[in-house]
Every structure is written in C-alpha cells, then in structure tokens.
A and B are shown apart, each in its own frame.
Chain A
Amino acid sequence: MDRRYTVFRYIAYSLELLLLFILQTTPRLLPEIFGSKPLLLIPAAITISFFESEIPAMFFGLASGLCLDLGYSDNIGFFTVTLTISCFFIGLIFRDYLVISFLNALAFNAMFCAGLIILFFLFSYVFAGKGDVLYYFSHHYISRIIYTFICGILLYFLNKFLYKSLRDI
C-alpha cells in the first residue's frame, strides 16, 4: 500500500512541532496576555491525536513532551510522561469511540490543556511548597490556560487541514 501521504503528513506535523517550540521559547516573539505566554505544544499534540491512531499520536505526544521538558530543564519529566499517555488515549478514543467534531475537539482541548497545566502547577508549586500559590495561579496560570486553549482552536483547524490534505485514499 502506498503510504506516501502519511509520511508527508508526519513530516508536516514534525515541522509544526518544531516551529511551535521555536515560537514558544524565543524571547519577545509571542505577545504576552496578562503576563503569560501559551504552551503551544500541548494543544498541538492533543489536536494531532484527534486525527491519528493511538501509536502515532503517542509518539507526537512524546515529542511535544520532550520539547516542553528539555527546553527548560535537564530532565525528562512531567510533560513527556503525561502527553505520551494522554495522546495515546485520545488517539484510541477518537479511533474507536468518538466521532471528530468541532465540539468534541473543543471539549477535549479544554479538558487536557487545563488538566495538564493545573497538574503541572500542583507538582511544581503547590507540592513543592512554594509560597503565594493562589497569587501564581490567578496571575499567571489562569491566563496561560485560556491563552493555550485559544491557540488550540487554531491548531485544531491547522491539523485538520493537514490531515485532510495529506491523506492516503
């Protein structure tokens, strides 16, 4: 079977993740909203998972998690593990149980963006015993979650376009 388009699609996803990593980490490039910048790689991995089966979805989740973790620290950690698992199950759910629709995508995007960022906040700030946790959350993380979610909507349409344009028939 000719899988040429699938390979092109995977290359396109990989380039997308690389571009988003650069956009996310380059100083003074993305505008801040209420002092926060979005974590673009989270919705990117989630929206790719809507259109791919569980194994490719898992690997794109793994790649996004590695970029998120290793971009700022020397250790593979929270995002590598959580995005690998999340993307695997999103891929599985959308392959076997749910139909991809805009509303489903919105709901999953909101749930996973908020869930993963809040979990990260809990591990990095609350459980780490840092002070002023409510201040951090209200002044940095709420805006970050909303900003990330809104970018996720755009990434949903981008990945839908890539999937439809580069699909083996």
Chain B
Amino acid sequence: MRDFLSTKSAKILIATLAVIIVIAILGATGNPWVSSAFNFLTKGLSTVTATFTEGHKDYDELKAENEKLRQEAADLRTQLVDYDDIRAENARLWKYYKLKKTNPDFEILPASVIRRDTNEAFYSFTIDAGSSSGISVQDPVITENGVIGFINSVNATSSKVTTILSPDLQAGAVDKKTGESGVVSGSAILGEENKTAFSKIDANAKVKKGDVIVTSGIGGVYPADLILGEVTDIQYDDYDAAKYAVVKSYEDIKNVTNVVVLTDFKNKGEIKKGAD
C-alpha cells in the first residue's frame, strides 16, 4: 500500500481527487462556477440537437396521438353541456398571450427543453434560459395545459426543472368544484402514467372523478388557479389508509418541449393566511 501511494500515478490521483472535492465544496456552498461554465459551453450544442428532435414523432406516437385527439374531440362535444368542464377545457387551450391577458401581473418567459435527465425517474429536464433571463429558483414552470413544475436550480444560461411528478414537489392545491384543499405531490408509481397525488385531503372530502385540481396560491410559490390536472381516481394509502385523489396532468410531461416560466406574479413569495 505504501509502495502504491508513493508512485507518481497515485499522487496524481490523490491530487485530482483533492481538486474535485474542493471544487465540489465550493459549488455546494453557492459558487457553482464550474457548472455555469459547463452549461455555457454545452448549451449551444444541446439547443441545436433538441431543436432537431423537437418535432420528431414515430408512427406509433402519431397513431396514439391521433387516437387521443379523436377521443378528446368526442369528449369536448359531450362536455358542452357542463359549464365547469367547458371552463376546464378552455383552460387547457390557453395560449400564452391569453395567459398574459387574463393575468396582467404574470411576467412570462417562454423557454425550450434542451436536455432530459436520463438517470432520474421523475422526468426532470433542463431549459434554455437562466438567471440572465430573469429566472430564479422556485419560479413556476407551466404550459397552456397547466403546471409542469418549478425551477430547481438556475445558472446564467440554463435552468433545471423538477416536475409535478416528483415527490420533491409539494404544491398547495384546491379542488375547483368543491373548494376542498390539499397538497399535490408525485410518486414513482403514479409518475410513470403522467399522474400525481392530491393528498392531505379530509376523509369526508367530496372530491370525485373529473374534478379539476388547481393551485391554491397559498405559500407564494405558485399563483392561484393554475391547473394541475384532472382527478381520474380516488384511492387510499396502503400504510395509513388516508384518502387521496389521483390527478392526471393535461400536459404530456414526459415529452413536453416548450414551456413558460413565470418569473413574477402578484403575491409572489407571500405566504397567505392558513398556509402550513
């Protein structure tokens, strides 16, 4: 062992590890210059390749999408009689200008997905805008179909997004129909099906299939009334038998390519009365 440690190679290995550890500590204590430099250097290439594959869909996907669209068209026709459903569907069809028009306090910043995290089970991704565009940590990330997640970390030219399918995200939420409140958070099993859980609801809650779940605005991280998804099932926790609703996002979070970051909105950062 002593012989090995006295070799030139071992000394280079130890010196390299020492440098890595020092840089890692500096990065972890709020000075991620290596990460910023890395993202600055690779962003251009990632943007080009992401743009190249943005519209790429294979036959099965197109077929599935076609089926989905047909189904949605049929659903829309049947929903015309139900005001609440029409309202929810209208919300799905928000365009960004509409979003801004109806929420003049929203400061919105469109961004594109340039990387997907291959080694993470909750479909987190990187977008092509960072602090130089005004993005900060915890800014909500949305599309016209509802909330996608929040900004987990940010550097000058890119940002990492944690999705609503992740258990790391906990958003105060409300059932639009019944007004009952709870928390939306992800799990492995639900995340795979583009679903999340609306939990911490009352045992007698009247949440039911088809209800639209929106953000409560409590906590100051998300503005109120952003759509999180639609209830598809009511279930009970295996451990404590607590009731929760399974919520399916209107957006295909696994494959989303364009998003909008809300860099500012009214009451941002303000904790409303009744928040945890």
List residues of chain A with CB under 8 Å of any chain B CB: 18, 21-22, 24-29, 35, 37-39, 54-55, 58, 62, 66, 68, 70-77, 80-81, 84-85, 88, 92, 117, 120, 130-132, 135-136, 139-140, 144
Closest chain-A Cβ to B271's Cβ sits at a distance in Å of: 26
Whether A27 pairs with B32 at a CB distance below 8 angstroms is: no
Among A21, A55, A75, max chain B CB count under 10 A is at A75
With A28-B255, A85-B13 as known contacts, state yes or no: A131 contacts B188, CB within 8 Å. Answer: yes
Contact of A120 among B12, B39, B52, B119 (CB under 8 A): B119
B6 CB-CB contact with A under 8 Å:
no
Is B93 interfacial (CB 8 A cutoff)?
A: no
Residues of B within 8 A of A71 (CB): 42, 115, 117, 126
- Chain B residues within an 8 Å CB radius of A75: 24, 27-28, 32, 35
Subset of 5 A-B contacts with CB under 8 Å: A22-B45, A24-B118, A26-B49, A26-B52, A54-B9
Instruction: State whether the Cβ of B242 lies closer than 8 Å to any Cβ in chain A.
Output: no
A contact patch SS: helix
| In-complex Cβ contact of A27 among B38, B192, B257 (8 A) | B257
Contact between B45 and A76, CB atoms less than 8 A apart = no
Q: Is the CB of B115 within 8 A of A68?
A: no
Chain B residues within 8 Å of A88, by CB: 9, 13
| Bound CA–CA A118/B188 (angstroms) | 17
Q: Check if B39 sits within 8 Å of A22, measured CB to CB.
A: no
B118 x A70 contact (CB < 8 A): no
Task: Please give the residue numbers on chain B whose beta carbons come within 8 Å of chain A beta carbons, in ascending order.
Answer: 9, 12-13, 16-17, 20-21, 23-24, 27-28, 32, 34-35, 38-39, 42, 45-46, 49-50, 52-54, 56, 113-121, 124-126, 153, 155, 160, 167, 187-189, 192, 255, 257
* A39, A62, A74, A88, most chain B CB atoms within 10 A: A74
Bound-state CA distance A21–B189 (Å) is 28
User: In the complex, A138 Cα to B188 Cα: how many Å?
Assistant: 11
> What residues of chain B lie closer than 8 Å to A135, measured between beta carbons?
188-189
- Which B residue sits closest to A25, measured CB to CB? B115
Which residues does chain B contribute within 8 Å of A132, judged by CB atoms? Answer: 187-189
Are the C-beta atoms of A136 and B188 separated by less than 8 Å? yes
- Is the beta-carbon distance between A76 and B16 smaller than 8 angstroms? no
Measured CA separation A28–B114 after assembly (Å): 11
**What are the residues of chain A within 8 A of B117 when measuring CB–CB?**
71-72
Q: Are A84 and B32 in contact (CB under 8 A)?
A: no
With A and B bound together, what is the CA distance between A131 and B35 in angstroms? Answer: 29
A39 CB → nearest B CB, Å: 6
Among A35, A73, A88, A135, the one with the most B-chain Cβ atoms within 10 Å of its Cβ is A73
Query: Closest 5 interchain pairs by CB?
Result: A132-B188, A25-B115, A74-B32, A74-B35, A26-B49
When the two chains form the complex, which single residue of A18, A37, A81, A85 contacts B118, counting CB atoms closer than 8 Å?
Answer: A37
Select which of A29, A76, A80, A139 is within 8 A of B49 by beta carbon: A29
CA distance in complex: A135, B192 (Å): 11
**Contact A27–B113 (Cβ < 8 Å):** yes
Minimum Cβ distance to chain A for residue B172 (Å): 21
